[in-house]
Structure formats: C-alpha cells, structure tokens
Chain A
Amino acid sequence: MKLLTHNILTSKCLKGVTVGYPLGIVAKEVKVNEVEFNPEFISRMIQKVDWPALCKAAENLGHSDDLPPAVMDDYENNEEFLKKAHHFLMEIEVINGDLICPETGRKFPVTDGIPNMLANEDEV
C-alpha cells in the first residue's frame, strides 16, 4: 500500500464512525521502490492530498527525513518539491502492518502490501 492510497483511505464505512480519517499506521515491514516520476500527475494529486496526514504517516513509518512540513507556494513549478512529494506518495510502500481507525481503534491488517478493508456483518 503506497502512502498515496493511505492518504485517501478512511474507515467511514464502519457503523458509528463519523470521519474515520486519517487512519493510524503501525508497520512491521516497509519497502522503498523506484517508481517512474510523473510531474503532471503529482502536481494534480498534491491538490487532493492531505499534507499533514502524509507527514504523520511518514513519521509513523520512520521514513520522514527530507519530507517538507508543508506544501510550498508555486509547487507546480518546483521540480525538487514535486520529486520529494513523488518519493513519499508513490515510492514508500507498507508491506505488513495494521491500519487503525481513529474513532473505534479497529485494526485493518495489511498483508503482502494489501490492506484488508472487509468489515464484519455487525460493523456496517
């Protein structure tokens, strides 16, 4: 699971959850990949990304060095910023661990890079 995916995931499908965002991460295994840099895509995604949630997630994974604390002005033209955003959003992958609902504490296990978002019948 890439951090871009984590950034858009919520637990709001669970009963009793209002916002369900952001999900906490406890990771047992993290991988860093090399992914082709697509400046146009990253530029557009930055508008949708919740940057504080991204920072918190990177911190939880112990991979937060070099991550700018906030989105820079005029980021569309700042290639260095875009490259850093790309690295954190697309190249860091959680392989094994848990995602945690901030309101109920319910855990969603991540196995082999795939989060299990299936809820039990009594949870929806």
Chain B
Amino acid sequence: MSGRPEHQAPPEIFYGEDEARKYTRNTRMIEIQLVMSERAVELLCLPESQPCHIIDLGCGSGLSGETLTEQGHIWTGVDISSAMLGVAKEREVEGDLLLGDLGQGLPFRAGAFDGAISISALQWLCNSDQKSHNPAKRLYIFFSSLYSCLSRGSRAVFQFYPENSSQVELITSQAMKAGFTGGLVVDYPNSTKAKKFFLCLMTGGQQPLPAALGVDSREDTPNCVVFSQKRDRVKQLRTGKAPKKSRDWILEKKERRRRQGKETREDSKFTGRKRQSHVW
C-alpha cells in the first residue's frame, strides 16, 4: 500500500482526471471534507451573519467551497490541478476558480479578502516537486503574499496532515516570518482516527487561540465531531418526513396505504404506542 500522496507525485499529476473523479465521488471523503470545512469556518471567527469575501486555498473540486456558499459567503478558489478545477466547474460551484501554484504566491491586491481557509492542502507545499523548488522559500512566498492580500484583523485557517513535527515547525516558522501570529489547534488529540490539525493564523496581532475539540478526558466527550449529527437533523427536517418508526411515521405510512387502496386498520389511541418489552 502506498504511503502519503505527496510522496507519489506532484499535486497536479496526482490529482489527474481519474483521481479527481474518484475523490469527488467517495462519500466518506466528502463527509470528512465537509466536517473539516465547517470546523475551519468556525475557527475563522467571522463576524455574525455577515457575508464575507473568502479565499479557498487548494480548493480542489469545490467541496470546501460549498460549505462557504452554504454559510452565505462569497469565495474565490485557487488550485494547481486543472482536473480538480474541471470537476468543480462541472459541479457548478458558486466560487470563482483560478489555476495557480500557491508556492508562487497569491496574485491578489492588498486587503482583498476577509478570510482564508484551506482543507487538506498545505502539506503539499512541503515537498520539492521540481529541482528548483525550495519548500521553505515557497512557503515564505505563499505566506507573505497571503498576509498582504488579507484585510487587517482577518484570519487564515488551514486543516492539513503534517507528516512529522519538523514539517509543522517549518510551516509555522515561515508563517510567523511572514507576519502572522497564531498557532496550531489540534482537535481530538488522543484519538488516532479523529485527530485533526488546524493551523490558525491571525493578522491582527496576538490573540488567544480557539479551544480544541475533544480535549477533556471526561467519559462523555464524543470522539467524533459533534456537529455532524446536527447536519443529519437539519437534513431530516428539510426532507419533511418524520424519523423512521415514530408514531408520526406510522400514521403517515397508514395514510399512504389507504391512498393506495390497501386494507388498513383504523387508527386508535393504541397506534404506535410504546410497547412494554417482553421476555418470551
């Protein structure tokens, strides 16, 4: 089994046509990306109910961008893989897309954006994909251009997969050199599966970092992200149907049967009543 994607090929080659399609069809992948995107937007601490202008760094096929749209923001996405951007176009995402290499710097005017997010992209900048690439230099060019195109007081949140602590060190040192303050927020630090790294960078001077999830060692701390359940509830309400097996569901089903002309028992006070469990 091959190891980390960034060791196999540069991102524009790894995310070719086939991989781009696979990535965007894999429901588990989609779910994980959506959860991480929502968490990243949460960590951005944007002003309440105000539509903001956000840049999505390494936007890929637009999965994270859709979260931004859902929350009412206007976004622009940059990615190095034209195959991934092609998928984003097919999915008709709202954000404007740009083909570009983050390590060459962001080609935007000063103060253009109110915030930046990046999901599962930053680790790709740590590798030399070409002889002339110097990761530290590319990271510095990236962070300093990002710093300048963010308006004062705005933040950049990066969810990424660091290979080791020296990579984290490399990334944070270049970010600090570029003028950012902030640091790493690690959600679910004690779970191998759920552990997620978020680099939270700020432009407005040192501020306290947001609290990480799943840090209490109490029994009742969930070992997964809490609001994934919230999404299901919202989905349920949106479909307008009652949850399975509840009394409402049973009554609806009986109504459906009557409309189909099937023989159905009359409804009574006993319909859908909770039964006492028996030992047979």
Measured CB to CB, the residues of A under 8 A from B are 1-2, 4-5, 7-13, 20-21, 38, 40-41, 44-45, 48, 50, 112-119, 121, 124
Q: How far is the CA of A38 from the CA of B92 in the complex (A)?
A: 19
A11 touches B85 (CB 8 A): no
Q: B135 in the interface, Cβ–Cβ < 8 Å?
A: no
Known A5-B96, A41-B51; judge A119-B109 contact (CB<8 A): no
Cross-interface CB contact of B108 among A9, A41, A50, cutoff 8 Å: A9
A8 touches B100 (CB 8 A): no
Q: B34 in the interface, Cβ–Cβ < 8 Å?
A: no
Query: Chain A residues near B76 (CB, 8 Å)?
Result: 5
Q: How far is the CA of A73 from the CA of B141 in the complex (A)?
A: 38
B100 touches A118 (CB 8 A): yes
Q: B111 in the interface, Cβ–Cβ < 8 Å?
A: yes
Nearest Cβ in chain A — how far from B13, in angstroms?
14
Which parts of B67-96 form the interface with A (CB within 8 Å)? Answer: 74, 76, 78, 80, 82, 85-86, 89, 96
Identify which of A11, A20, A124 gathers the most chain B CB atoms within 10 Å of its CB. A124
Q: How far is the CA of A60 from the CA of B58 in the complex (A)?
A: 30
Q: How far is the CA of A22 from the CA of B66 in the complex (A)?
A: 29
Cross-interface CB contact of A121 among B78, B86, B100, B130, cutoff 8 Å: B130
Contact with A along B88-129 (1 / 0, CB 8 A): 010000001111110011111101100000000000000000
B111 touches A124 (CB 8 A): no
Question: Total A-B pairs in contact (CB under 8 Å)?
Answer: 76
Q: How far is the CA of A102 from the CA of B49 in the complex (A)?
A: 38
A113 touches B98 (CB 8 A): no
Q: How many residues of B contact A (CB 8 A)?
A: 31
Q: How far is the CA of A117 from the CA of B112 in the complex (A)?
A: 17
Q: B207 in the interface, Cβ–Cβ < 8 Å?
A: no
B99 touches A114 (CB 8 A): yes
Known A13-B104, A13-B107, A21-B109; judge A117-B99 contact (CB<8 A): yes
Q: 9 pairs across A/B with beta carbons < 8 Å? A: A1-B98, A10-B107, A13-B104, A13-B105, A41-B74, A114-B82, A114-B98, A121-B132, A124-B104
B51 touches A119 (CB 8 A): no
Query: Chain A residues near B82 (CB, 8 Å)?
Result: 114
Least CB separation from B151: chain A residue: A48
Q: How far is the CA of A21 from the CA of B51 in the complex (A)?
A: 26
Query: Chain A residues near B97 (CB, 8 Å)?
Result: 113-114
* Interface contacts beyond A5-B76, A40-B50, A113-B96: sample of 16 additional A-B pairs, CB < 8 Å, sorted by A: A1-B96, A4-B74, A4-B96, A5-B98, A8-B109, A10-B109, A13-B145, A20-B107, A48-B111, A114-B85, A114-B89, A117-B99, A118-B101, A119-B101, A121-B130, A124-B141
Query: Chain A residues near B132 (CB, 8 Å)?
Result: 121
Q: How far is the CA of A11 from the CA of B98 in the complex (A)?
A: 13
Query: Chain B residues near A5 (CB, 8 Å)?
Result: 76, 96, 98
Query: Chain B residues near A13 (CB, 8 Å)?
Result: 104-107, 141, 145
Query: Chain B residues near A121 (CB, 8 Å)?
Result: 130, 132
Q: How far is the CA of A2 from the CA of B74 in the complex (A)?
A: 12
